[in-house]
């Protein structure tokens, strides 16, 4: 499914937080949205998954304006992994993933055997089937994130939106989660913190600064030393590792200006 964000703007009171952003994600692409704290990454995603109503502009899923759909219809097309990971209720892993079936249910519908198969498959896909009966809140950060991705899979959507999927995760889990997301091959838009991870896994990257897209394109075109310096205010060296062919960004010093 294709996602098209057209000139979207949003603000709180007089402060413009998202300024006329344009973004496209083609079927199967993994798009990274990067930028420093407060650059508008999360706000942009919240506009895409309809948590905030845009002040101007539009978002299309396969040429259809999402604001013309019900929220439920949107949820059948787009699954989201947000940063809400803690709650005060003790749901099991299985129950958490079952929530992914919510947009497919009418008022009187019960869980079916088909739902059960979907939940098991989703859990197996993220390697969490054996923990299905565990309490969600007893899991580690990486495990929680896997379960939330399983819930997104159970939603049977064709677009996946992830808000900093590797946040607070150990190194190993960061790579595991990114490998997992890469393996799904559905249209994905992910806000990311770690530039090296973004460079390694994303097809294309949008670089945000103060609510605007300052650069977009393939990782090697966006993540240049000059661009990173102007957006993040740090000096870096960017090199291509001969062993992997991957972009490698090394921090050298804080830019003082």
Instruction: Give the interface with other proteins as residue ranges (CB under 8 A).
Output: 12, 46, 49-51, 70-76, 78-80, 82, 84, 86-92, 94-96, 99-100, 102-103, 105, 107-108, 110-111, 113, 116-118, 120-121, 124, 129, 132-133, 135, 137, 155, 161
Nearer to other proteins, 135 or 203 (CB): 135
Q: Compute how many other C-beta atoms are within 10 angstroms of the C-beta atom of residue 12.
A: 9
Q: Report in angstroms how near the CB of residue 40 gets to other proteins at its nearest.
A: 16
Residues 74-111 as b or e (16 or more Cβ within 10 Å = b): bbbbbbbbeeebeeeeeebbbebbbebbebbeeeeeee
**102 vs 218, which CB is nearer to other proteins?**
102
Rounded to a whole number of angstroms, the minimum distance from the CB of residue 152 to other proteins is: 9
Q: How far is the CB of 168 from other proteins (least distance, A)?
A: 15
- Report in angstroms how near the CB of residue 72 gets to other proteins at its nearest: 4
Residue closer to other proteins by CB (options 2, 125) is: 125
Q: Is beta strand 212-217 parallel, antiparallel or unpaired with respect to 64-65?
A: unpaired
Q: How far is the CB of 60 from other proteins (least distance, A)?
A: 18
User: Nearer Cβ to other proteins, position 92 or 196?
Assistant: 92
In order, the DSSP letters of 175-213 are HHHHHHHHHH-SEEEEE-S-HHHHHHH-SEEEEEETTEE
Closest to other proteins by CB, 106 vs 253, is: 106
> What is the side-by-side strand order in the sheet with 78-81?
78-81, 159-163, 187-191, 30-34, 204-209, 212-217
Site of tokens 């959507």: 157
Could you tell me the smallest distance in angstroms from the CB atom of residue 88 to other proteins? 4
Of 77 and 204, which has the nearer Cβ to other proteins?
77
What gap in Å lies between CA 19 and CA 210, rounded to an integer? 8
């Amino acid at each position: 499914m294709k996602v098209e964000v057209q000139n979207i703007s949003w603000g709180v009171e007089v402060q413009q937080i998202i300024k006329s952003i344009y973004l496209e994600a083609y079927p199967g692409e993994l798009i990274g949205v990067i930028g420093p704290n407060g650059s508008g990454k999360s706000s942009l995603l919240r506009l895409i998954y309809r948590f905030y109503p845009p002040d101007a502009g539009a978002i299309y899923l396969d040429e259809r304006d999402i604001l013309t759909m019900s929220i439920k219809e949107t949820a059948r097309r787009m699954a989201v992994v947000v940063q809400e990971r803690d709650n005060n209720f003790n749901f099991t892993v299985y129950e958490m993933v079952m929530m992914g079936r919510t947009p497919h249910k009418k008022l009187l519908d019960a869980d079916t055997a088909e739902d059960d198969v979907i939940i098991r498959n989703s859990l197996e896909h993220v390697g969490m089937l054996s923990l299905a009966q565990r309490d969600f809140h007893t899991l580690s950060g990486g495990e929680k994130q896997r379960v939330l991705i399983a819930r997104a899979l159970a939603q049977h959507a064709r677009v996946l939106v992830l808000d900093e999927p590797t946040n607070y995760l150990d190194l190993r889990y960061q790579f595991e989660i990114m490998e997992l997301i890469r393996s799904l091959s559905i249209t994905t838009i992910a806000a990311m913190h770690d530039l090296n991870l973004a460079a390694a896994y994303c097809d294309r990257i949008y670089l945000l600064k103060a609510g605007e897209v300052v650069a977009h394109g393939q990782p090697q075109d966006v993540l240049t030393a000059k661009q990173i310096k102007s957006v993040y205010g740090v000096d870096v060296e960017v090199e291509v590792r001969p062993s992997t062919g991957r972009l490698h960004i090394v921090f050298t010093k804080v830019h003082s200006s």
